[in-house]
Structure 1
């Protein structure tokens, strides 16, 4: 258990906890307050719940899927959408952070800080070398995010040795198809907060975005190599984690 500000972060320990996480995911991703967003990966993951300490209200959830080595990469959630064979040669331990969502009515930045505190503790305790996942933009209209994609193309593409290839049937190949110089102010304004956090830690992304109509998102594969996080950022994250 970890406390940050007005929030408590804990692992799901029961079927009731997992159901609560799935219901929040359904609300955040699908707009269905009474539904459950669930898949076969849930049984293999460590699930985190962030709750208000005073009310007990669930405000944020995410899950972590550890992979011992690169050759296990095909067993992750992101491999459904990206061809990740390049990462089979990755030499260290990996963890996939997925299904991250915050309650639509909650806008306190401390929720994201609490999440990063818990993720930092998990990474340190499990000696993780690569944290990765799918970072999502709301909606599937690429026109809303052209400056953001142009900035990703110019500054944050994955190293060629790890670069994911196209697998999903519908993608936006922004690195090769987008002819635009980014307006950096607009790029940052439209960048999802989770992806912005990844990039501040030296994170990199795929050269294309997957158009996921089921989830009504555009998402990019995103990786952070722990050894490449700037020292000042590492100190800040570990201070959050206590």
Structure 2
């Protein structure tokens, strides 16, 4: 007759079974995480960013050839200098390209219209992305020419500066901008970015003509002290230029450029002070977004893609 196992033996057996199950689950989770990291790394190595995201004929991805980067610079010249009235120097006018030293170390996000071409000829939108490790090669970010960004550079996290955003006139609908945001969210996810920032522009160099918009931004969306960057003393323009309580906030928002409205919808902030950029015929404000506010919107989409690839 087989003896009945002692209660302590049953408990030991149960604990052993549960431990084995838990160990298997933990090992499986660790394997999945490693596979996800490997998949992300492979995507980065293969594409320089992420696999192209599509929306109809439009796609968004990182430029991978010199011809595509050149197309982005040509589009920037067309929009900034020919349409918006920026003042080119001799080299810029001669080459019909908007180029600076940051282009060499940055990634260039592209919107491509495949109905035109799947290569450089199809570039209809662009956004320049500059990570902390890339900026270190030059010793600074572009934004530091207008703002004291020490609160950010001392921030214990990974930074991504965005700028030089433009879309070709015939593609300035919602689809292209949504693709640009999806591309930025994917880039943030893959590079584990913590804070997104940069300079966003309002047309014109007369702050008084932009008094309502600047006051609205300062009063309603000023960054918390831990993230608040401030315009350099010799370039500082006061943003609160009228009584904020007398403003029609909805009318103010309607007058903001689509890009700035996009940042605000994501819970973004502005820095302290505006900066007049005479060369580009704009008044700039610093914008900042905690990346989880953007990435969370697209995380489930990316998580599904990773899970499907692993199945």
TM score, norm. by length of structure 1: 0.88
Note the alpha carbon deviations across 1:141-197, whole angstroms, 9 max, x for none: 22443222222122100112322223164442114x443432112211111111111
* 26-35 or 148-157, which deviates more: 26-35
* 9-18 or 126-135, which deviates more: 9-18
Mark the runs of 5 or more structure 1 residues left unpaired by the alignment.
Answer: none
Report SS of the residue matched to 2:129: strand
What is the count of residue pairs matched by the alignment? 237
Question: How far apart in 2 are the matches of 1:43 and 1:70?
Answer: 10
Pair 1:9 & 2:56 matched: no
Question: How far apart in 1 are the matches of 2:160 and 2:285?
Answer: 16
Pair 1:186 & 2:272 matched: no
Confirm or deny: 8 A CA contact 1:70 1:89 kept in the other structure: no
Residue 89 (structure 1) aligned to one of 154, 172, 175: 154
Residue 112 (structure 2) aligned to one of 35, 48, 51: 51
Structure 1 match to 2:145: 80
Pair 1:212 & 2:277 matched: yes
Confirm or deny: 8 A CA contact 2:212 2:242 kept in the other structure: no
* 3-12 or 185-194, which deviates more: 3-12
Q: Which structure is higher in RCO with an 8 Å CA cutoff and minimum separation 6?
A: 1
Q: Give the direction of change, closer, same or farther, for the CA distance of 1:70–1:6 in structure 2 (3 Å limit).
A: closer
TM score, norm. by length of structure 2: 0.69
After TM superposition, the structure 1 = structure 2 runs for residues 83-232 of structure 1, keeping only pairs within 5 Å, are 83-167=148-232, 169-175=234-240, 177-181=241-245, 182-227=247-292, 229=293
Report SS of the residue matched to 2:189: helix
Which of the pair is proportionally richer in strand?
1
Which of the pair is proportionally richer in helix?
2
Question: How far apart in 2 are the matches of 1:183 and 1:141?
Answer: 21
